[in-house]
Chains A and B, each alone.
Chain A
């Protein structure tokens, strides 16, 4: 039987209450959101917090998808299912729906959250790759107030984030620019598994020319990886198969896959090139569809 080690349980009634508890309990406390990353880690004794601060009752405060002029704000307690089912989000950033369809399974998606996924900081985690792709910023709150960090700053290494002992991730913010769309491609061993490799792409067009393009990869580095060299290549260019091909090759050169039970490093590089190409192609096609 796999059960977590003995722990003390606290339940937060507001974000401020949760932060107060974190300040009081110190580094021995962890936030419990959907629990579908943390509880398995605790069963395996890879994590053994003395205190869990359950924030599931904060879904009212932190479960939202708000489309505002120039940006989208998503609360940290928004569950996978809500991200999957939001037509409003799929209209602006179809990459979220693409990814959510292939994250775990529908029952797990009823429980797991955006904030929990990002804070787990698993290098293979799909929503982290999505947020890297779309240039999301993370809002971290502590007793002294809020600070905003980029995804690159948020993830400091495998399973390590910029969130301090008495802080919590409360929201992500994604800038919205006109003429854009996005897509996500994943190859896994079986349905619902972690990625062997995933690639996200987002493209913004202006009069048929690429104003900006971004690529984010999962499972081929210490964290999900943005590929700025692809953005540099594509800006100012007209979309073409040859351009996608070159972008895929650049992505494959600029990541660091390792050989493991999911595949060899060479195979993963091959996937990076191919999936980057497909995600870019699909993003451009989606911009055209929307007119």
Chain B
């Protein structure tokens, strides 16, 4: 069957088997291997991408279901060569060890900060509770997300003080 969708703002499409899962479409058909394929059972969260702005586990969504919809993957976090603050946070705070869970963690973190710019530790832990870091680096992941929140708050206040000066 034919599918067409937007992935990271770009229109893409092609012929697929209807049983193809979104994670395999992204990785094997589009070459977007940033999205990881982990447990296959919607437990680990390595495959989290956004579907119409909401994080979903792409091992449990058919590529066919995404046709006509908007998908965003970890490759879409960077803008104009600038890392997203969430990506910077993970770099600054050692938010990854082996890196396998990282793309999914960052997509969830970005969605969280878009809804809640100043989350508590508990809210961050709740948000990533459907994702597994087998290096058990949860404390540094929480720290990384907090770093991103603080960075964005700083940018916002800098922008508004610039605005009032002018």
* B130: interface (CB < 8 Å): yes
Chain A, residue nearest B129 (CB): A105
Instruction: Point out the residue from A54, A56, A108 that lies within 8 Å of B57, measured CB to CB.
Output: A108
Give the residues in chain B near A191, CB-CB below 8 Å: 129
For chain A residues 88-116, which have a beta carbon within 8 Å of chain B? 104-108, 110-111
A125 to chain B, nearest CB (A): 15
* A35: interface (CB < 8 Å): yes
> B61-69, B143-151, B156-164: which one contacts chain A?
B61-69
Chain B contact patch, size range: 20 to 34
For chain B residues 57-111, which have a beta carbon within 8 Å of chain A? 57, 60-62, 64-65, 67, 108
> A6-14, A70-78, A261-269: which one contacts chain B?
A6-14
Most buried by B among A40, A43, A106: A106
Instruction: Point out the residue from A2, A6, A52 that lies within 8 Å of B40, measured CB to CB.
Output: A2
- Inter-chain CA distance A9–B21, complex, in Å, is 13
Most buried by B among A8, A54, A108, A110: A110
Give the residues in chain A near B64, CB-CB below 8 Å: 9, 11, 54
- Inter-chain CA distance A54–B57, complex, in Å, is 17
Give the residues in chain B near A2, CB-CB below 8 Å: 40-41
- Inter-chain CA distance A247–B61, complex, in Å, is 43
- Inter-chain CA distance A24–B124, complex, in Å, is 47
Contact of A35 with B19 at beta-carbon distance under 8 Å, contacts A43-B40, A111-B56 already known: no
Chain A, residue nearest B56 (CB): A111
CB pair B40 A106 closer than 8 Å: no
Give the residues in chain B near A56, CB-CB below 8 Å: 65
CB pair A36 B62 closer than 8 Å: no
Chain A, residue nearest B63 (CB): A9
Give the residues in chain B near A220, CB-CB below 8 Å: none
Chain B, residue nearest A57 (CB): B68
Contact of A4 with B19 at beta-carbon distance under 8 Å, contacts A9-B64, A35-B62 already known: yes
B105 to chain A, nearest CB (A): 11
CB pair A107 B19 closer than 8 Å: no
CB pair B129 A192 closer than 8 Å: yes
Contact of A39 with B127 at beta-carbon distance under 8 Å, contacts A5-B19, A9-B1, A108-B57 already known: no
Instruction: Point out the residue from B17, B18, B21, B131 that lies within 8 Å of A107, measured CB to CB.
Output: B131
Query: Which A residues lie at the B interface, using CB under 8 A?
Result: 1-9, 11, 32, 35-36, 39-40, 43, 52, 54, 56, 81, 104-108, 110-111, 191-192
Q: A2-B40, A3-B20 are in contact. List 6 more A-B contacts (CB 8 A).
A: A39-B60, A39-B61, A52-B62, A105-B130, A107-B55, A111-B56
Interchain residue pairs A-B with the least CB separation, the first 8: A105-B130, A9-B18, A2-B40, A107-B130, A4-B19, A110-B54, A9-B64, A105-B129
